[in-house]
Amino acid sequence: MIIYGIKACDTCRKARKALPQAEFVDVREDGLPEEARNLALETYGPQLLNTRSTTWRGLSEAERERPPAELLADHPTLMKRPLIDDGGVMHLGWSDEVRRELGV
């Protein structure tokens, strides 16, 4: 299991604490691997983008029109988080539903 997120994110901290066995990848430092990005985009599409983030607000209108895969490649912190890869099954966020699906 791999958790993709940001170390300073409170929600990511909660997920890491509840899933201590999971590997953690800080997308700010390490980026979001292409394979994980593609699988997440197949699963969630444009919902993967956090359009309420500071990063999003800093983008020009022209940049916001770019395909989500390109935006996430250039700005991995635009991703909603945490993104959890449970053996190829993706989970987005840390809602009650996600915790239930992960058995936490």
Catalytic residue at 9? yes
Beta-carbon count within 10 A of 75 CB: 20
- CA 19 to mean position of chain CA atoms: 16
Of the residues 3, 6, 9, 79, which is catalytic? 9
Residue 59 φ/ψ, nearest 5 degrees? -85, 145
Q: Is 60 exposed, middle or buried (0-12, 13-18, 19+ CB in 10 A)?
A: exposed
Contact predicate 85/1, CB 8 Å:
yes
Question: Tokens 């983030």, residue?
Answer: 53
Active site residues: 9
